[in-house]
Structure 1
Amino acid sequence: MGSQEVLGQAARLASSGLLLQVLFRLITFVLNAFILRFLSKEIVGIVNVRLMLLYSTTTFLAREAFRRACLSGAPRRDWKQTLNLLWLTVPLGVFWSMFLGWVWLQLLEVPNPNVVPHYGTGVVLFGLSAVVELLGEPFWILAQAHMFVKLKCTFTMSLQVVAESLSVILKSVLTAFLVLWLPHWGLYIFSLAQLFYTTFLVLCYIIYFTKLLGSPESTKQQTLPVSRMTDLLPNITGSGVFVNWSEAKLTWSFFKQSFLKQILTEGERYVMTFLNVLNFGDQGVYDIVNNLGSLVARLIFQPIEESFYIFFAKVLEREKDASRQKQEDVAVAAAVLESLLKLALLAGLTITVFGFAYSQLALDIYGGAMLSAGSGPVLLRSYCLYVLLLAINGVTECFTFAAMSKEEVDRYNFTMLALSSSFLLFSYLLTRWCGSVGFILANCFNMSMRITQSLRFIHRYYRGSPHRPLAGLHLSPVLLGAFALSGGITSVSEVLLCCERGWPARLVHVAVGAFCLAVTLGTAFLTETKLIHFLRTQFSVSRLPDKTT
């Protein structure tokens, strides 16, 4: 398969499901904005930080190692033994939910029941919802191994997006209804909504596989290692062996790494939960701002990173530098990397420059005075800078991990471990010094170090070739001037027109920002012609039918 064809597939992967995700995210955004107007900061902090940390920790420790082990290796395996191994996630999830539930109830600070009622019930139901979600793990692994990866079925990928997004929307609708009609229920509301979410998600997978295995097309093609639903249940294989012990040992190896990875993944929440650096109200505001600020990163940057990682991994050969590979593939990879870096830089700068002057207004519209009157605007302004670093890091790391040799990946893992450990230390120290903004500053420092490591690798990789993809991080002086001018104008506009002067003044402030944004994007269109050509070409390619499916 040629590099151009692989590039077309990567563009299709990046665009498939994106509109669905945007639609579902917008619906959820509106529902959450409605819900926030009826809640206290303390309840938001308990639910989004304390209880969701319990839920994510339980599911991660119970299934992460199994996922990595059962999706590794050759597809030829005894799937009965693999499915038996996957069902062990359920009793493991029961253990972790009970153990962590005891920690959450006995060792951590319990909120005031007059402010946050029914905390104990919330802990129990969030732990139960984690166990319920683990019931769908065999279905998820089977789908990933035989449809998402092997068959490249875009419809199935969209089905997963629809199932998960629809579950989130229904959860938000139920939460909004209960908050409006039964506000005195407290944490009962969010606990029942979370349990409903996981139950509905598992039912979606069960219903889909029931229909899939019962369809004549599936029986004819025999693309799955099971033929009926009962084959997915635990059972003894013909050899009398319950699990594949090599897979079990691999799972144990991954399991030993899971503790550290989970701590580093949820570092901010663990610091907030166990070290009490913020009160429950500040935790709630930080979590809302964090979710709001990362919305663009999840919608745009993450699909691009995942899809073009596949592109770089297919086009480039590991263990070889640029001079020892097909020069056509190296040239295409360099051109794509340069364009992606330019796109990430422009998108990140746009969010940073315009987000600074419109953070307070956005928070006021989203959550009212609860978010816009306190530390929320400062948090969101800081997060806008972090989004710029997130965008650049996503592109640089997707290339780096695709091109590194195994030995380089191993060395890089040690570097990442050191950086992540330092992040936890900086989070604690900076939060003690400057409050919740310290978490974002620690994230910015950590991301800057990761970008530096990736840039050094890319520079070394292309050092012996005529290609210079890092030129994508250079912008024309005219465009930089347009960004600087827009930032100054919108900042003055915010001081004069927003946000205590009523909606007429706010609308003028929005109009000023829209005009500056149009001028800035127009300048980018005229000056960054190479990027515009790349986007036009890939958008056209992504709309072509995929002949490989």
Structure 2
Amino acid sequence: MGSEEVLGQAARLASSGLLLQVLFRLITFVLNAFILRFLSKEIVGIVNVRLTLLYSTILFLAREAFRRACLSGSAQRDWSQTLNLLWLTVPLGVFWSLFLGWVWLRLLEVPDPDAVPHYGTGVMLFALSAVVELLGEPFWVLAQAHMFVKLKVLAESLSVILKSVLTACLVLWLPHWGLHIFSLAQLFYTAVLVLCYVVYFTKLLGSPGSSKPQALPVSRITDLLPSLTRTRASVNWKEAKLTWSFFKQSFLKQILTEGERYVMTFLNVLNFGDQGVYDIVNNLGSLVARLIFQPIEESFYIFFAKVLEREKDAARQKQEDIAVAAAVLESLLKLALLTGLTITVFGFAYSQLALDIYGGSMLSSGSGPVLLRCYCVYVLLLAINGVTECFTFAAMSKEEVDRYNFTMLALSCSFLVLSYLLIRWCGSVGFILANCFNMGIRITHSLGFIHCYYRGSAYRPLAGLRLSPLLLGAFAFSGGITSVSEMFLCCEQGWPARLAHVAVGAFCLAVTLRTAFLTETRLIHFLRTQLGASRLANKLT
């Protein structure tokens, strides 16, 4: 498969995922805003911080390394060995669920049962839901490797919507159930998610042979189950060793990804109510990151992993592939920078209004607006880091991955210490400041790797981080105008003034986007080309 074809598939995956996720996430956004009006801050803190951290930690430790290693293999691999390796995530998940469940029940502070009932049941069901989700891991990796565009997004979005609807109904009709509501909804979510993949592959592999994708390495649904043979190894040991390298890195990356939740959970620096407010603001601030950056990062990681060979530098790669990868990386960096700057500039003036609309005075008063404004800066760093690490992890050799683990270890330790010190100094804002510091270090490392990787070639993809002075001026103009508008029109002046504030922001956004359209012609050409190819591919399929 040529690099241009892989690029077209990656763009198709990212654009389709983006559009569908926007639709489904908006529905979920409305349902969550409704649910927040019926909950206490303490329950929100326990569910969204304590129990969700348990669930995400089990999944991350059990599957992240397997995903990265198995998605990096060549098309000529023995898929039965890869599938056997992926099934190891299930016993690994059982181990982590038992161990971490014991930690959550015996070593951590147990909330007041009158304020947050059924905590023990919640821990057990959230751990069980993580194990259930791991049953679908071989299906997920096979679908991603063969770029089944709509399956992942439809399965996840349908599961999230049904979970939100079930949660809203139970909160409205049976509020006294407490954590039972969210535990059952979480288990329902993972069951629906796995069922979507199983049903899809069962239907696909049970259909007539002519309708099956030719490159699909399995012919029956039973081929996806573990298999043993005496004629060859049960697993690909090269993939297994790469998995171990990624596992060491994943363990450290999890601390950086969920570090503030670990600090809140294990050090008790915030009460459950403050944890709930912080988590709501964190989820709202990262909404755009999940909608836009995550599909792009996942899709183009696959693109870079397929186009580039890990053990070769740029000089020894196919020059056609290197040229395409450099052009794509430059455009992705420009897109991430523009999107992040837009969120940062306009987020400062509209944070309080967004929180008031989303959760009422519980969020818009107090520390909520300051948290969200700081998070807007973090989103800018998050956008750039997503693209740079997307390329870096796809191009690194196994030895470079191992060396990077030491960097991650230092970052993890510094993050935990810095988070604890900053939260003592400036409250929950300290978590975001610590995240910004560590994200900046990770970006610097990735930029250094990319610079060295392309140093001996004629390509300079890091030019994507430069903007024209005219566009920078447009951002500065928009930031100044919307800040003045917030002072006089928001947010205690009533809805007519608020609507006028929104109109000012819409005008400034239009000016900024128009300036970007006129100055960033290479990025516009890239987007038009890839979106056009994506639409054509959708018509053909």
CA, structure 1 residues 350+454, in 2 after alignment: closer, same or farther (shift >3 Å)? same
The aligned counterpart of 2:471 is 479
Q: Give the 3-state SS of the residue equivalent to 2:38 in structure 1.
A: coil
SS at match of 1:544: helix
Cα separation, 1, equivalents of 2:474 and 2:144: 43
Aligned partners of 1:59 and 1:93 also within 8 Å: yes
**TM-score normalised according to structure 1 size:** 0.87
Tell me what 1:227 maps to: 220
Determine if contact 2:72/2:394 at 8 Å carries over to the other structure: no
Within 5 Å, which residues of 2 pair with 1:275-314? 275-314=267-306
The correspondence for 1:141, drawn from 130, 138, 142, is 138
Residues 408 and 70 from structure 1, CA distance in 2 versus in 1: closer, same or farther, beyond 3 angstroms? closer
Is 1:165 equivalent to 2:162 in the alignment?
no
**Quick one: distance in 1 between partners of 2:270 and 2:491?**
27
Structure 2 letter corresponding to 1:10 = A
Inter-partner Cα distance in structure 1 for 2:30 and 2:283: 14
- Range 42-51 or range 451-460, more displaced: 451-460
Alignment of 1:65-104 (within 5 A): 77=78, 79=80, 89-90=89-90, 92-104=92-104
Deviation at 1:124, TM superposition (A): 2.4
Measured after TM superposition, the shift of residue 373 of structure 1 is: 0.8
Paired residue type of 2:117: P
Match of 2:50 in 1: 50
For structure 1, the residue ranges without an aligned partner over 5 or more in a row are none
Amino acid in structure 1 at the alignment position of 2:103? V
What is residue 9 of structure 1 aligned with on the other side?
9
Tell me, yes or no, if the aligned pair for 2:478 and 2:509 is still in contact at 8 Å: yes
Change beyond 3 A, Cα 1:497–1:249 = closer
Structure 1 residues 482 and 85, CA, compared in 2 at 3 Å: closer, same or farther? closer
Q: Which residue of 2 aligns with 1:437?
A: 429
Instruction: Tell me what 1:31 maps to.
Output: 31
Tell me which amino acid in the other structure corresponds to 1:227. R
Q: Which amino acid aligns with 2:141?
A: Q
State whether structure 2 residue 335 is matched by structure 1 residue 338: no
Query: Within 1, Cα distance between the matches of 2:96 and 2:358?
Result: 35
User: Of the candidates 205, 208, 212, which is equivalent to residue 197 of structure 2?
Assistant: 205
CA distance in 1, matches of 2:522, 2:248: 47
1:500-545 CA-to-partner distances (Å, cap 9, x unmatched) read 1111111011011111111111222222233223322332222223
Deviation at 1:66, TM superposition (A): 5.6
- Please tell me whether the aligned partners of residues 255 and 412 of structure 2 are also in contact (alpha carbons under 8 angstroms): no
List alignment gaps of at least 5 residues for structure 2: none
Q: How far did residue 253 of structure 1 move?
A: 7.5
1:148 counterpart letter in structure 2: Q
Is the contact made by 1:171 and 1:194 (CA closer than 8 Å) also made in structure 2? Answer: yes
- The structure-2 alpha-carbon separation of the partners of 1:42 and 1:331, relative to structure 1 and needing over 3 Å to count, comes to same
CA distance in 2, matches of 1:306, 1:82: 19
Give the alignment of 1:450-465 within 5 angstroms: 450-465=442-457
What amino acid maps onto 1:519 in structure 2? V
Q: How many residues align?
A: 538
1:36, CA displacement in angstroms?
0.7
Per-residue CA deviations over 1:134-176 (Å, capped at 9, x if unaligned) read 3x23xx314523x432xx353xx41222122111111100111
Mapped contact 1:219–1:227 kept (Cα < 8 A): no
% identity of equivalent residues: 82
- 1:68 is displaced (CA, Å) by 6.0
From the superposition, tell whether residues 92 and 217 of structure 1 become closer, same or farther in structure 2 (CA, over 3 Å).
same
Q: 337-346 or 504-513, which moves further after superposition?
A: 337-346
Closer, same or farther: CA 234–334 of 1 in aligned 2, 3 Å: closer
1-side partners of 2:352 and 2:523: how far apart?
32
Greater displacement, 60-69 / 185-194? 60-69
Write the letter of the residue equivalent to 2:129.
S
Deviations 1:157-216 (A, max 9, x none): 412221221111111001111111222221121111112112222332333343334323
Q: Within 2, Cα distance between the matches of 1:244 and 1:422? A: 37
1:55-454 to structure 2, matched below 5 A, reads 55-64=55-64, 77=78, 79=80, 89-90=89-90, 92-134=92-134, 136-137=135-136, 140-142=137-139, 144-145=141-142, 147-149=143-145, 152-154=146-148, 157-217=149-209, 223-225=216-218, 227=220, 229=222, 237=228, 239=230, 259-316=251-308, 318=310, 321-322=313-314, 329-454=321-446
Give the drift of 1:345: 1.5
Contact 1:24 1:169 in 2 (8 A): yes
Q: Tell me how far apart the structure 2 counterparts of residues 18 and 428 of structure 1 sit (CA, whole Å).
A: 36
Equivalents in 1 of 2:526, 2:70: separation in Å? 38
- Tell me how far apart the structure 1 counterparts of residues 130 and 83 of structure 2 sit (CA, whole Å): 19
Structure 1 counterpart of 2:207, one-letter code: S
Q: Is the 8 A contact 2:79 2:217 kept in 1?
A: no
* Alpha-carbon distance change, 35 to 536 in structure 1, aligned in 2, over 3 angstroms: same
- 2:144 corresponds to which letter in structure 1? F
Question: Could you tell which deviates more after superposition, 441-450 or 83-92?
Answer: 83-92
Q: 1:440 to 1:202 in 2, by over 3 A?
A: same
Select the structure of larger CA radius of gyration. Answer: 1
Write the deviation string for residues 266-307 of structure 1: whole angstroms up to 9, x where unpaired. 222111100111111111111111111111112212222333
**Partner secondary structure for residue 17 of structure 1:** helix
Task: Name the CA distance, whole Å, in 1 between partners of 2:290 and 2:531.
Answer: 20
8 Å contact from structure 1 (residues 84, 242) kept in 2: no
Distance 1:82 1:539, change over 3 A: closer
1:153–1:489 Cα change, 3 Å: closer
Instruction: State whether residues 431 and 437 of structure 1, in contact with CA within 8 Å, keep that contact through their aligned partners in structure 2.
Output: yes
Distance (whole Å) between structure 2 residues aligned to residue 524 and residue 363 of structure 1: 28
Q: Could you tell me how far 1:405 is from its partner in structure 2?
A: 4.4
CA–CA distance in 1 between the matches of 2:391 and 2:234? 36
Which deviates the most, 529-538 or 91-100?
91-100
CA-atom RMSD, angstroms?
3.3
- CA distance 1:191–1:10, change in 2 (3 Å): closer
Give 2:494's match in structure 1, choosing from 471, 482, 502.
502
Pick closer, same or farther for the CA change 1:201–1:418 going to 2, 3 Å. same
Deviation of the 1:227 alpha carbon:
3.0
- CA deviation vs aligned residue, 1:231-283 (integer Å, no higher than 9, x gap): 66678x56599965959975777766665454344222111100111111111
CA separation of 1:72 and 1:462: change in aligned 2, threshold 3 A: closer
Equivalent residue letter for 2:22: V
